[in-house]
Amino acid sequence: MIIDGQADFRSLLMHHVTTHWPDAVLSAYDPTAAGHLPVEFSGAGNDIILLGNELGDRNGIEVLKQFIKVPGFPAVVYFGTQDDKQAVAKAGADGFFVRDDISHDALTVRLSNILSSQRRLVSTASLFVGDLKAGIQPLIRGYRFVRKLGATMHSAVYLGEKKSSGQLLVLKVLQQVPDAQDSVGAFDRFLQEYELIAEIEHPNIVKIYDLGVGDEHAHIAMEYIDGGDLKQRISGGINEPDAVRYLRQIASALAKIHDVGILHRDLKPGNIMLRNDDTIALIDFGLAKRMRQEMEITDSGEIFGTPYYMSPEQGHAEGIDQRSDIYSLGVIFYEMLTGKKPFRADSAMAIIYMHAQAPVPLLPTPVASYQALLNMMLAKQPGDRLRSAAEIEEWL
């Protein structure tokens, strides 16, 4: 959880964290807009609190002391001035950085060390990283493991085979004991990801086959898609007809999830897969959220997603709706047509600023006929954008 009164600084910290941990789920709180957190705030559900010193009329060191004295409060890393260093250490913070001079490597190493020291439970990580030839693998009945595809902090992904049918599929396995105190948040998010996708049937959304919950792990069995992702396809170049076809399919998938009240919030080429028949499949709903879900205190002013594909309102921690996903799709459409991102800069803060302030770039002449549609998708103000993903097809 990030607590600070400056939206750009919250976005910068978010970028540092999600660059190193792509599946991290962040909540960012602005005390200057939403009011100061109550004295009874316990930090429950968070692994680490990133506390900035821009807190309106509250003194950052005093807020730090308030947090530290709460029994069971999460680790706190403080961001202030050089003059704060001694007071921060005396207060008992778990880390300190000068907010105007943050080294990415130093920050991620410190956060990694904090997370490692917190793990008092027996992680099932050894089940995932072991040698499959030696028979060390997660114990999931009914499936045979073929090979490991990847892993993040919270989950590992395998190519598996269903024993009863021989069907190849992807097994995503939670790497933590679900009933342990510091893994409840990750476990709940894992189940939410399944529940969000499983209730949807659409040709351009990944198929979910099964959910299993055991004593030491949970798993999702989903469609195996081996055609690579859209990011790889863009790097190799996409012709105009294919770019438009992909746009249609992604928009159709978005329209479906929006119809049932779900926002994706992290739409990017790496979360869009291609099947062998060259059809699109939208994946990774780890940041998805029901639009009508009742919001908790930590949801006020939250920032999620990847800066290159963020809408202006998302990058500045403002309220979002389906038009934010449409903006992200507009960025992807521009990238498919040109091979370049519409806004590029040396820092996450600069990219976020360009999304909000820089004019929509012009398409090259061969594809200029799509400029009007792109303008409607990449409008700075949500009210100036297309109202729904279904309207993309009408414009095409």
Residues known to be catalytic: 266
Cα–Cα distance between 221 and 338 in angstroms, integer?
Answer: 36
3 state SS of 80: strand
Which two structure tokens, joined as six digits, stand for 229? 């992702």
Give the pairing type, strands 168-174 and 262-263: unpaired
Within 13 Å and on the Cβ side, how many CA atoms surround 205? 21
Strand 218-223 vs strand 208-213: parallel, antiparallel, or unpaired? antiparallel
Distance between CA atoms of 360 and 311, rounded to whole angstroms?
12
Within 142-223, strands assigned E span 143-151, 155-162, 168-174, 208-213, 218-223
Contact 93/48 with Cβ under 8 angstroms? no
Q: In which region does residue 12 sit, left (phi positive, over 0), alpha (psi from -120 to 50) or beta (all else)?
A: alpha
The Cα angle at residue 35 between residues 88 and 79, in degrees rounded to 5: 25
Instruction: In whole angstroms, give the CA distance from residue 83 to residue 393.
Output: 57
Q: What are 133's two structure tokens?
A: 């030839």
Interatomic CA distance for residues 353 and 343, integer angstroms: 10
Encode 215-260 in three state secondary structure. CCCEEEEEECCCCCEHHHHHHHCCCHHHHHHHHHHHHHHHHHHHHC
Cα separation, 193 vs 107, in Å, equals 28
